[in-house]
């Protein structure tokens, strides 16, 4: 009974490892591809001079990271 509990945990960990290796999560790949596409879109907008539309989002992101209020323009 003393060895039964830890033994069950070890067996369960090997079953979990097997399932993780044989059934990878495809959602991670999809998010990565979407992020690459978003970056391409933002790069294209930056080359076209359309960066002013992103200014409020950039200010909000910087505010969230630093905790400082964005300067009024």
Q: What is the pLDDT of residues 12-35, one digit of tens each?
A: 999 999 999 998 876 666 777 788
Residue span of the structural domain in which 37 resides: 4-66
| Tokens of residue 41, six digits | 């879109």
Is 13 inside any structural domain?
yes
Domain count, the chain: 1
Is 51 inside any structural domain?
yes
Cα 29 from Cα 51, distance rounded (Å): 28
Instruction: With a cut of 80, say whether residue 58 has pLDDT above it.
Output: no
Global pTM reads: 0.37
pLDDT of the residue at 64: 58
Is 41 inside any structural domain?
yes
Is 36 inside any structural domain?
yes
Arithmetic mean of pLDDT over the chain:
76
Is 48 inside any structural domain?
yes
Query: How many of the other CB atoms lie within 10 Å of CB of 45?
Result: 14
Is 34 inside any structural domain?
yes
């Amino acid at each position: 009974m003393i060895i039964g509990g830890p033994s069950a945990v070890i067996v369960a960990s090997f079953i979990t490892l097997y399932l993780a290796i044989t059934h990878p999560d495809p959602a991670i790949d999809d998010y990565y591809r979407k992020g690459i596409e978003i970056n391409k879109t933002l790069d294209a907008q930056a080359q076209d001079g359309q960066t002013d539309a992103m200014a409020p989002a950039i200010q909000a992101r910087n505010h969230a990271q630093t905790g400082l209020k964005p300067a009024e323009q």
